Amino acid sequence: MRYSYVAIALLLSTGSLWAQTIANYQKAFSILQKAISTTGKDLPNSVLITSSGIIHNMGHYDVPEKTKDIPVEEVAAYFQQEQVAYLRSVIQNNGLSLIQSSVSKSDSVYTTGYYNRSLVRSNSQEFQYEAAKLLPIKLLQLAYTNRQSLRYLGEQDSHFLLSFSYNSNDAVTLCINTKTFLLDRIEKLGYNDRYGDVLFVSEYKGYTSTNGLQVPASRTDYEFGQVERELTYKDIRFNVKPDTSSLQLRWVPVTFQRKLPEVIQKAESLSVETIAPNLDLIKITSQNNKVLVAQFSDHIALFESPSGLGLNQQIIREIQSRYPQKPLRQVFLTHHHPDHAGGIRAFADLPVTFITTAGNEAYFKKLLSGTHTLNEFNKESGKSYRFDFVPAEGQKTYSDDQLTVVAYEIGKNTSHTAEHLVYYFPQQKLLWSGDLLFFRADGRIFPSGDRGKSVYNLITTKQLAVDKIYTSWPLNGQAPYGTIDDLRKSSEAK
C-alpha cells in the first residue's frame, strides 16, 4: 500500500516537471513574440544599416589595460528570403583605412580580415550571431529561429530575462524591457585564459521607429568589464539587393556571388492532374505521396492529409488558388496512419468536417489541439472543425447535384487498421483507397493478402461499378491506377 502511494507521487511529480518545462518555454515564447512584434512587424525582405563610432582597442600599450581609440564604421545587411547576411567594418588606424568583410549564405560564410586579406570560408553559426548583434530585431529573430532552446530566467530590474542557444556551447541572455518590450541588453558568457570567466555585453539605447522598425540610437559593447566599442546608428535602407550593386562584394568567389540572390525555397513540389470530372489528383513528388481533391457544387473536399503542416498549408493554398469560388469544407480520411492523417492540424482552424471513424476521435482531437510554436505554424488550437463518423462495417453517402461519394468502413477484414474507409465515386466509377492496394508501374502482380481481398470483396458484394482504383501512398513505382482485373489477380495470387 505504501509503495503504491510512492508510485503515485512519483507519477504526479514527473507529470508536473514536464509541464514546467513547457510552461516555462511558452512564457518565454510569448515574451519573445511580443518583443518581435513590437520591434519590427511586417519588415521588408532586406535591411541595410550603417553605424559609426569608436573601438577602444586594448593593445600592447605602455600601461595595463590602456586602450587606443580607433574610429570604425560598420555596415550590416540582412536578406530574409535569400538567407544572406553581410557585415563590413572599416577602421582608421595609423593612417590606414582597413576593411573587414564577411558575407554568409545559409550555413557558409566568406571573410577577409583587417590585416589579412586572404579569403577564409567557414561555418556561419558564429557569424550569424555577430551579424544579428548589430540590429536588435535580427537578434530577436535569431532567438526565434533557435526557440527550442528558449527559456524564461525570471524578471530583474524591470527586464524579462530570456535565454537561448544558437549553437551547442553558447547561450545568450536577452534582457527585454517589461514596459516597452524592446531589447535593452544582451549578455553572453565566455572564457578568456587571462581574465577567466568573462561576460560579453551589448547595450542598446534610444529606440526610434523607422518604417515600423525600432532601431536604437546607439549600441555599446563591453568585453572583460570594459567598454570595447561605442556606436551610433546613422542610416537605414530597405529593399537593397544582395549583389555587388548594393554590397561591395567583388572579393568573394564569383560562384558564391551568383548564389547570393537565390531565394531559399522550403516548399514541397506538387503537381495537379485531373483524373475524372470533378476529381483532381495532387501528386506530392517531394514526399512520394498523393491526395485527391473533389469538387462539389459549392465546396471542395480533400481526401487524405499526410504529415507535414507546411505541406498541408501548401495544399490549402493550392486549393484556394485553383478553386477560388469554393471553400474547402470536408477532409475525408481513410485511416489514422501519419502518411494519411498526420497533417490534420493544418485544418483545425477552418470550418471543415473530418470524415473518419469513431475510434480515431480521441487521437485526432489530440492532434488537432497540439500547440506548434516550434514549427513555423503558430496558430490557435483549432475549434472550428467537427467530426462525421462512418459507422463500423457501415456506409455513408455525401452527395449534391454535382458529385456523390460513398464511404465504406471495412477495417475489420483489412489486417491493416481496425477501422479503414474506402471511398467510391459512382459517377466516375472510381474508387479511392488508402494503404490497402498497390499497383506496380511495371505491371507485375503481387499477392495483396487480406488488404486487397477486403477491397475486392467490397466491390463484389456491393456490386460497385469500378473502372479505376486510385491509391494514395506511394507515388513512385506505381501505375497511375489499377483496374478491377488487376485487383482480382492480386487478391487471388499466392
Which cell numbers in the block locate residue 1? 500500500
State in angstroms the smallest separation of the CB of 435 from Zn ion: 3
How many Å apart are CA 101 and CA 88, to the nearest integer? 4
Total residues in contact with Zn ion, by rule CB under 5 A: 2
The sign of the torsion formed by the CA atoms of 377, 380, 386, 389 equals: positive
Q: Is 67 helix (H, G, I), strand (E, B) or coil?
A: strand
Nearer to Zn ion, 221 or 435 (CB): 435
| Piece in contact with Zn ion (CB under 5 A), picked from 145-153, 219-227, 263-271, 435-443 | 435-443
Which cell numbers in the block locate residue 17? 516537471
State in angstroms the smallest separation of the CB of 443 from Zn ion: 24
What is the 3 state secondary structure string of 102-167? EEEECCEEEEECCCCCCCEEEECHHHHHHHHCCCHHHHHHHHHHCHHHCEEEEEECCEEEEEEEEE
Nearer to Zn ion, 268 or 435 (CB): 435
| Piece in contact with Zn ion (CB under 5 A), picked from 3-11, 40-48, 333-341, 391-399 | 333-341
CB 216 within 8 A of CB 204: yes
Interface pick for Zn ion out of 203, 268, 435, 486 (rule CB under 5 A): 435
CB 105 within 8 A of CB 92: no
State in angstroms the smallest separation of the CB of 269 from Zn ion: 23
State in angstroms the smallest separation of the CB of 168 from Zn ion: 37
State in angstroms the smallest separation of the CB of 349 from Zn ion: 26
State in angstroms the smallest separation of the CB of 456 from Zn ion: 18
Taking CA 304 as the corner, what is the angle to CA 490 and CA 283, rounded to the nearest 5 degrees? Answer: 75
How many Å apart are CA 340 and CA 19, to the nearest integer? 30
Spell out, one character per residue from 19 to 38, where the chain touches Zn ion: x when CB under 5 A holds, - when not: --------------------
Spell out, one character per residue from 351 to 390, where the chain touches Zn ion: x when CB under 5 A holds, - when not: ----------------------------------------
Nearer to Zn ion, 74 or 435 (CB): 435
Nearer to Zn ion, 185 or 453 (CB): 453
Helix H or strand E encompassing 272: strand 270-276
How many Å apart are CA 394 and CA 400, to the nearest integer? 20
Q: Does 419 bind Zn ion (CB under 5 A)?
A: no
Spell out, one character per residue from 285 to 324, where the chain touches Zn ion: x when CB under 5 A holds, - when not: ----------------------------------------
Which cell numbers in the block locate residue 115? 590585416
Interface pick for Zn ion out of 147, 337, 396, 488 (rule CB under 5 A): 337
Q: Which residues contact 140 (CB under 8 A, 6 or more apart)?
A: 32, 35, 36, 39, 174, 183
> Is cis: bond before 474, omega within 30 of 0?
yes
| Piece in contact with Zn ion (CB under 5 A), picked from 130-138, 311-319, 335-343, 397-405 | 335-343
State in angstroms the smallest separation of the CB of 205 from Zn ion: 58
CB 264 within 8 A of CB 252: no
| Piece in contact with Zn ion (CB under 5 A), picked from 43-51, 67-75, 429-437, 446-454 | 429-437
Nearer to Zn ion, 184 or 435 (CB): 435
| Piece in contact with Zn ion (CB under 5 A), picked from 70-78, 194-202, 332-340, 449-457 | 332-340
Between residue 221 and residue 240, which ones bind Zn ion under the rule CB under 5 A? none
Rounded to whole angstroms, what are the CA distances from 376 to 12, 218, 356? 32, 32, 27
Residues found near Zn ion in the complex (CB under 5 A): 337, 435
